[in-house]
Amino acid sequence: MSNAERVARWRQRQREDPSKHEAYKRKERERYEQKKKRGVVKPIAELSKRDQRSKRKQWRQSSNKYYIRKQRILTVIENTETPAHSPENNQVQAARRMGRKKVRRDRSKAYREIFKLRIALKKEERLKEKHKKRFQRQKNSKEDKRQKEEEAVIKGHNIRKAVLLYSVIVNRLRKRYKMTKTHTEKRNIASLVCATGLIRRYRLADYARKMIGVTTHQMKRKPRRQQIHIKATRARKAVHSFFERDDNSRIKADKKATITRKGEKKQIRLLNDDIKNLHSKYNSEMGNRQISYSLFCKLRPFWIKPPTSRDRDTCQCKLHENLTYKLETAHSNKLINSKHINDIVKTVTCNKSLDNKNCMYRSCLICKNKTVPIDTNVDLGKQVQWKMWKSRRVATHVRVVRETECGSLETLVTDIEKEVERAARHIYNIRHQYHSITSLKENMATNELLIHMDFSENYNCKLDSEIQSMHFGASQRQVSVHNGIIYSKEKIYPFATVSDCLMHSPAGIWGHLQPVFDFLKTMEHEKNVIHFLSDGPTTQYRNKTNMFMFSFKIFDLGYKYGTWNYLEAGHGKGATDGIGATVKRTADSFVLTGHDVKCAEDLKCALNGSSIHVFVVTESDIIQIDKALPMAAEIKAVPQTMRIHQKRSPDSQSHGTGVSAETNIDTTSDNILRNETMANASSTDFVVNVDIPEVASVDASGDKGTPDNSAEKISMFYALAAPGLLKPVLTVDQHLIGQYIVVEYDGLPYPGEVLDVDEEDLEVKVMHKIGKNRFFWPLLDDTLWYHKDKVVTILDGAPVRVTGRHCKINHDVWDQIEDILDL
C-alpha cells in the first residue's frame, strides 16, 4: 500500500467520526493562525504584486475545478432513473392542448412573414442586376472612346519621333528628380507629371511614377496650411517662456543631452515640478489669459521633458533633499497630508502664498506661530528611519555622505518644523531671485551689463587615437572651462574662457574674466554699470578674497557701479551649463574628425566658427594675479558669508592699495539685483546689511521676556581677551568641519567636534562634563545643532587626554572661558 492510499484511508476514518473530524479541523485552523503570526502565511494585501496575481490565478483554477466537479455530480444525478410519473389529471391535459394550439398559430404567422420576405428579396435582386448591367454598358462605352482616341493619336503622329520625344522628356525628368535634394521640389515634380488630369484620364499615373522614379509618399497631397491665429501664437510664446524659466526647469549640463526635431537641435531641460503644479502656477501668474491643462501640455516645448529614472540628478539642493526625505517618511506614516515641500510651506503661511516676504521669513504677526498640521491620531512614539545628506571630514577632505537617521515620529515632527522655517526663506529667495533676474534682463538700461558665469567640469583632453596606458593612466590632461553669457540691452554674447591652469580660486576667476573685459572694451565701451551673477561656492565666488578683488577691480576696469549676485544654494543651474555642454560636445566632434585636443589652444581651435566667443587664459596670467593678492590672513573676514546673496559697490569710489572700496551686502532687500538705497559710510571694512531680529524668550503667560544675552556677553569679552587665545567663529563654512570647538549650553561650556555646517548653524558632537575642566565622550553620541553665536571659541586641536578616558582644555584657554561665562 502506498503512502497516498494510507493517507486517504486515514482521512476517510476521520470523516466518518464527527468528533475526530471537528478536532482535526480545529487543529488545522490553529496551525493556520500560527503560520500567519510567524509570517509564513501572509494575507494577500501584504504580498507583492506578482505574488498577488499568482495567488488569484490559483484561486480561479480551484474554483473552476470545483465548478466542473459539481456539474459532473449534477449530471450523474439527472441521469439516474426515477419511478414513473403519476397520471395527470384532465386540467393539465387541457392546458397542454391550449399551449400546442398557440404554438401552431405563431408558426403559421412566421411562415407568412418568410414568404413575404422572399418575394421582396427577389425584387431587390432583379433591381441590382438591372443597375449592374447599366454600369457595365457605360464602362464599356468609355473604354471604347478612350481606345479610339489613343488610336487617333497614334495614327496622326510619326511613331519614331514620338518615342524619341518621350524618351528625352522622361530621362530628363528622371535625372532632375534624382538631383533634387529638397522634399518640396520633389513633390512639385511629382504633382506636375504624375498627378495631372490627363495622365489620370488615360490611367498612366502608376506607369509615369515608375518611369520617373517618384516614391509613393511623394504622391500624397501636401496638407493644407492651417491658419495661424494670433492668440494661439501668443499663448505658445508665453508657455515656452514659462517653461524655460530656471525656476520651472533646469538645463542638463551633459554634452550628450540634446534632442532634435525637424532640424532644430536643443539642449534638454528637465521639469522642476509636476506638470499639474506648473499649470496651476502658470494660470495664477497669467490672470485673465488662463489656458486649459490639455493645451498647456500640448504647447510644452519638445526639449523640456519630465525627468525619468535615467535623468538621475547629481546637482540637487541639500536643503530640499533632506526635507523631502523627512516629509516622505512622515507622509508614509499618515502623519501629514502631502509630501511636497511647497504644499507644506503653504500650510504655515497666510492665504497659502509663497510670495509674501513677511510670511516666508516667518515675521508675519498672523502666521509666524503657525505649525505644520499633523494627524493627532498617529502614535508619535513610533520609531522610524529616514535618510539625510551630511558632510563628514575624512582625513584632510570633507566628503558628503548619505546616512540613515533613526528616531521617533515626535522627533521627526520637531525636525520638520525647524526645517520648514528655513525652507520657506529658501523658497522665497529662489522665487524672488529668478523674478528679479528676469526683470533685470527685460528692463536693462543702455549703460548696464549682466554677466552670468559658472565653472563647468574640467574637459579631459583627447587624441584621435590613444594607447591604453594613456587613456586609463595619469597621463590624461585637463583644461579648465569657465562659461558665461553677457546680457546687454542690445545684444547677448555667449563666451567661454579656457586655460591649462586648473585653479578655480578668486585669482583664477579674475584671470578668466580679464579677456572678457578686454572684449567688452571693444564691443560695449559705453557701459559703466556691471552686474555679476553666479552660484555661491565658498571656494570660488563667495569668499572674502573674491569680495576684496571685486571691491577695486571694477573701478580699475572703468565701471562706476557694480553688484555681485549669488544664487540660492543648490539652485545655480542656468544657461551657462548649456554653453559648457556645447563646448565639450563640439570638442568631441572635432576629435572624431581626426584632430587632437591636447591643451587650451587646441580646444579654442576646435570651437572656431562657433557662435561662442572663446578666449585662452595662460597659467602665467592667473599666477600673476595670485601673487599680487595679499595673504588671506591680511584680508578681514566678512561676517555671515553663507547668508550673503548680493554685494554691491557705491556709485563712485576712490581707492588706494588697501581695501578701501566699500562692499555693501544685502540679503533681505526687496530687490536683490537692484537696490537704490546705498550706505554712504566710509569704512575700510566690509559692511553687511542683514536684518537679524532680536531673539526674545516668551513665558507661559505670553509676555516677552528678556533677550538672550549670552551671545552679547561672548562678543563683548573678545575685546578684552588676550590676543590669540579665543577664536570666534566669524564665517560658517565647510573648513570648520572636523575642527574642535567649545559651545555654550545652559551657561556651561562643552567641547566637541564639528560634524556639519549650515548657513548660521553648526552640528556638534559634544563631550560630557565630569568635573572642572574634565570631559569625556559618552557611549551614545550627543549631537546637536548650535547657532554660531553659541560658539565660545575654536580650539587648536582635540582636548588633551589626561587619563584613559578623561580629557581637558588648555589651562589658559579654560581660564578665559570661565571669565567669559562667569563660572
pLDDT digits (tens, 9 = 90+) for 369-411: 888 888 888 888 889 898 888 777 665 566 778 888 888 888 8
Asked which of 138-152, 420-434, 486-500, 546-560 is least confident by mean pLDDT, the reply is 138-152
- Range 123-152 average pLDDT: 78
Residue 679 makes CB contacts below 8 A (sequence gap 6+) with 650, 662, 664, 687, 689
pLDDT score for 705? 37
Residues 726 and 682 in one domain: no
Pick the last residue of a domain from 271, 305, 339.
305
Residues 246 and 327 in one domain: no
Residues 418 and 374 in one domain: yes
pLDDT over 50 (residue 696): no
Residues 642 and 788 in one domain: no
Mean pLDDT estimate for the chain: 78
Asked which of 36-45, 678-687, 801-810 is least confident by mean pLDDT, the reply is 678-687
pLDDT over 90 (residue 722): no
Assigned domain for 121 exists: no
pLDDT score for 747? 86
Assigned domain for 299 exists: yes
Q: Give 74-111 pLDDT, tens digit per residue.
A: 887 777 665 555 555 566 667 777 777 778 888 888 88
Grade residue 732 by pLDDT with cuts at 50, 70 and 90.
confident
pLDDT over 80 (residue 505): yes
d(Cα 652, Cα 562) in Å, to the nearest integer?
A: 10
CA 498 from centroid of its chain's CA atoms:
29
Pick the last residue of a domain from 15, 37, 72.
72
Residues 377 and 275 in one domain: no
pLDDT score for 771? 87
**Contact 403/340 with Cβ under 8 angstroms?**
no
Share above pLDDT 90 across residues of the chain, in percent, rounded to a whole number: 11
pLDDT over 60 (residue 657): no
Residues 396 and 290 in one domain: no
Assigned domain for 170 exists: yes
Residues 676 and 624 in one domain: yes
Assigned domain for 436 exists: no
pLDDT over 70 (residue 761): yes
pLDDT over 70 (residue 724): no
pLDDT over 60 (residue 613): yes
Assigned domain for 128 exists: no
pLDDT score for 766? 93
Residue 371 makes CB contacts below 8 A (sequence gap 6+) with 348, 417
Grade residue 651 by pLDDT with cuts at 50, 70 and 90.
low
DSSP H helical segments within 180-262, as ranges?
183-194, 197-201, 205-212, 230-243
Assigned domain for 573 exists: yes
For 9, the domain range is 3-72
d(Cα 642, Cα 758) in Å, to the nearest integer?
A: 8
- Range 318-336 average pLDDT: 86
pLDDT over 80 (residue 682): no
pLDDT over 60 (residue 598): yes
Residues 376 and 345 in one domain: yes
Residues 542 and 674 in one domain: yes
Pick the last residue of a domain from 72, 97, 116.
72
Share above pLDDT 70 across residues of the chain, in percent, rounded to a whole number: 80
- Between the two ends of the chain, the Cα-to-Cα distance in Å is 94
Grade residue 683 by pLDDT with cuts at 50, 70 and 90.
very low
Residues 685 and 536 in one domain: yes
pLDDT score for 695? 28
Count: domains in the chain: 6
Residues 270 and 388 in one domain: no
Instruction: From 402, 416, 422, 400, select the one nearest 568 (Cα to Cα).
Output: 422
With 0.75 as the threshold, say if the pTM is over it.
no
Residues 523 and 643 in one domain: yes
> How do strand 791-794 and strand 459-460 relate by DSSP bridges?
unpaired
Assigned domain for 676 exists: yes
Assigned domain for 471 exists: no
CA 719 from centroid of its chain's CA atoms:
49
- Range 30-39 average pLDDT: 88
